[in-house]
């Protein structure tokens, strides 16, 4: 049987019989970054997915409702996750209660198991919720959290999603878990950032608010939290925060008061000014064409060998400091623009731009945009959007991808 002819059922049978090598099914760090979403497209459902590591026989499927078993997907409305496009247009007309899932082979139980699910359509949050959450923090996690947030109450703290660098608090407070959005400053710009999504500013700490904005002052905004609407943890009135690249947790409304996040300085009542499909589409940066990749490769090749070696070593040193120490819970990649390694890279100047652009091709390196922005001498090659521009919601990962494309285009003339 060719791979093109395989179905989830036939593949499962071959895996059980030993006719195929069993993929690694451990639900480890790779599993927590798997995401799936469902959206309307020309009156039919479209599935879109991503993962840090996609297994050869991972697949995504559309289900009639959240009550469906993992085996009970809609016939013809599934796709191998390893397909190149990561987008699948089904023939299923848009309707209520449908759900998308991402499934991996679990050798322990000998069957496919979903590791990411969307809420039932048309829930206002279309991205996936990890299976197995909420849960109580481990001892180590609690110690890390309370060291950063001394006012956090353990009885109110539940882990609602695992640590991941893919998204941060600002994105999550807007209902997104597939991109990183830096908080704007000062307060007026921070408020505009939320208002541009359609949120209405209300009195700080108002009981009608469902989103709070945080800052250490009116000039430095740091964080966004939202009222908790996930699975019940037995305590009402909790709020929820994604703590930088660390865990997503519940907490009392002001439970994150700290030197790092400051305190609540603004509150909002939510709305949505941008259609979901438009926001999701903003993340779709076209892959580099062969001639574009060849151009970048040629520019990398002419960088002197000693400079290239120094850059590689120093870049890794800098990357090892990202979101560690006092930036462990940071929601702003601008906070990473410091330290000896960063200053050394900055001093190398525009000569390292081909090497840095090549790093930005890897999505996990998006925090390095702050270095690119600071050493790029051509203003027109630095991508930036006003908060009122819908493209401001594409996220730092997509901005990094567009930066790469734009830089190459400039070299091509």
From CA 12, how far away is CA 133, in angstroms rounded?
26
Nearest to 318 by CA among 302, 336, 332: 336
Order across the sheet with 44-50: list the strands. 35-41, 44-50, 87-93
pLDDT at 49: 86
pLDDT at 340: 98
* Beta-bridge partner residues of 409: none
From CA 164, how far away is CA 149, in angstroms rounded?
19
CB 307 within 8 A of CB 348: yes
SS3 80: strand
The token duo for 134 is 């909420």
For helices 305-319 and 340-348, give the axis angle rounded to 10 degrees. 150
pLDDT at 278: 53
Secondary structure tally for the chain: helices H, strands E: 12, 15
CB 331 within 8 A of CB 183: yes
Question: Which segments of the chain have a pLDDT < 70?
Answer: 1-4, 24-33, 122-130, 271-286, 387-388
What domains are there in the chain, each with its CATH number?
A: 3-130 (2.60.40.10), 139-273 (no CATH), 279-412 (no CATH)
The CA–CA distances, whole Å, from 147 to 200, 224, 260, 290 equal 33, 19, 11, 49
Exposure b/e, 160-170, CB count within 10 A at least 16 = b: bbbbbbbbbbb
How many Cβ atoms sit within 10 Å of the Cβ of residue 104? 24
Q: What is the number of alpha carbons within 13 Å of residue 65 lying toward its C-beta? A: 3
Nearest to 74 by CA among 56, 49, 55, 93: 93
């Amino acid at each position: 049987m060719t791979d093109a002819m395989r179905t989830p059922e036939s593949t499962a049978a071959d895996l059980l019989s030993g006719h195929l090598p069993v993929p690694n099914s451990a639900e480890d760090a790779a599993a927590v970054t798997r995401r799936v979403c469902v959206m309307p497209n020309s009156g039919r459902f479209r599935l879109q997915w991503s993962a840090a590591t996609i297994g050869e026989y991972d697949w995504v499927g559309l289900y009639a409702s959240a009550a469906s078993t993992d085996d009970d997907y809609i016939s013809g409305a599934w796709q191998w996750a390893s397909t190149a496009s990561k987008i699948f247009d089904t023939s299923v007309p848009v309707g209520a209660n449908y759900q998308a899932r991402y499934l991996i082979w679990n050798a322990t139980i000998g069957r496919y198991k979903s590791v990411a699910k969307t809420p039932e359509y048309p829930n206002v949050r279309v991205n996936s919720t990890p299976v197995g959450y909420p849960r109580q923090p481990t001892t180590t996690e609690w110690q890390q959290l309370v060291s950063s947030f001394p006012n956090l109450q353990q009885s109110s703290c539940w882990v609602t999603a695992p640590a991941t660098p893919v998204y941060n608090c600002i994105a999550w407070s807007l209902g997104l878990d597939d991109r990183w959005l830096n908080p704007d400053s000062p307060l007026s710009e921070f408020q505009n950032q939320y208002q541009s999504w359609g949120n209405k500013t209300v009195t700080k700490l108002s009981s009608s608010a469902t989103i709070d904005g945080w800052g250490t002052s009116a000039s430095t905004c740091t964080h966004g939290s939202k009222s908790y609407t996930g699975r019940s943890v037995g305590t009402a009135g909790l709020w929820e925060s994604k703590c930088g690249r660390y865990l997503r947790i519940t907490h009392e409304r002001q439970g994150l008061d700290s030197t790092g996040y400051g305190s609540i300085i603004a509150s909002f009542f939510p709305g949505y000014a941008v259609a979901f499909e438009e926001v999701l589409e903003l993340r779709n940066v076209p892959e580099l064409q062969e001639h574009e990749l060849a151009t970048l490769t040629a520019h990398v090749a002419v960088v002197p060998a000693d400079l290239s070696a120094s850059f590689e070593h120093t870049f890794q040193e800098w990357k090892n400091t990202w979101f560690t120490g006092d930036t462990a819970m940071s929601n702003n990649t601008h906070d990473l623009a410091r330290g000896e390694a960063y200053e050394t890279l900055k001093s190398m100047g525009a000569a390292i731009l081909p090497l840095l652009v090549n790093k930005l091709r890897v999505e996990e390196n998006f925090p390095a945009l702050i270095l690119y922005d600071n050493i790029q001498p051509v203003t027109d090659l630095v991508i930036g959007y006003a908060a009122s521009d819908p493209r401001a919601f594409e996220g730092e990962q997509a901005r990094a991808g567009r930066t790469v494309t734009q830089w190459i285009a400039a070299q091509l003339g």
